[in-house]
A and B are shown apart, each in its own frame.
Chain A
Amino acid sequence: DIQMTQSPSAMSASVGDTINITCRASQGIYNYLAWFQQKPGKAPKRLIYTASALHPGVPSRFSGRGFGTEFTLTITSLQAEDLGLYYCLQHNQLPYSFGQGTKLEI
């Protein structure tokens, strides 16, 4: 099974900052990597798919990069509404697996 190691597990940032969240796969997954944002009590929402493609309607301050085993979600010009939990997901191989999550506080 593929393990997804996500870091950091939590972070605090200020409005206007740029932050990075990293996911490392235990083996290569090409670019079958998606990023999700989850607000308390809500379902996750997809931000990024195929490692770098922006989901329709997601602000351009969100971006993703990476291939193989190392992936990064970057949020520039952080906004107050960006607080929440962020998860990566690999879907190259079954069983699909999520990272442990990153809690972002503003």
Chain B
Amino acid sequence: EVQLLESGGDLVQPGRSLRLSCAASGITFEDYEMSWVRQAPGRGLEWVGLIRTKGHGGSADYAASVKGRFTISRDDSKSVAFLEVISLTPEDTAVYFCSGRPAAIHYDIFAVWGRGTRVTVSP
């Protein structure tokens, strides 16, 4: 069974940093492009960014709203993806989900999701 489990969410003060993790099981993680999606309270889903597989260059892409403050990385040896966020603002308050797709199957997008981890930014 494929499972994704996010962790690392917390209550933090504005300006601080946080690193979120997404641990995967049941998949060949190194073959998966991994994405982060967030949802602010009472709002819709917002794609945040993704990291490609090493076979596709291993680079990351981000939504314009988070570029420069968010960094996505991966550790294939541990089947974990990370989202590092710096200079947090109250607007970053959200539940952060991870999902992904097999890099070789472009259409098989976001079949499985984690349950999310909550980030609250408040003084």
- Taking Cβ atoms with an 8 Å cutoff, the residues of A that contact B are 1, 31-32, 34, 36, 38, 42-46, 49-50, 53, 55, 85, 87, 89, 91, 94-101
Contacts and interface: CB of A to CB of B under 8 A. Distances in A.
Q: Name which of B45, B63, B110 has the most chain A CB atoms within 10 A of its CB.
A: B45
Interface stretch (B11-19, B22-30, B74-82, B111-119): B111-119
Contacts, number: 60
B31 interface: no
> Which 8 pairs across A and B sit closest by C-beta, in order of nearness?
A43-B113, A96-B47, A101-B44, A98-B45, A50-B107, A91-B109, A95-B63, A94-B61
Interface string B79-123: 000000000000000000100010000111111011110000000
A49 B64 contact: no
B107 A32 contact: yes
B12 to A, nearest CB: 22
Given A32-B107, A36-B110, 11 more contacts: A1-B64, A34-B109, A43-B115, A43-B116, A49-B107, A85-B44, A95-B61, A96-B35, A98-B47, A99-B44, A100-B44
A43 B97 contact: yes
Contacts of B46: 98
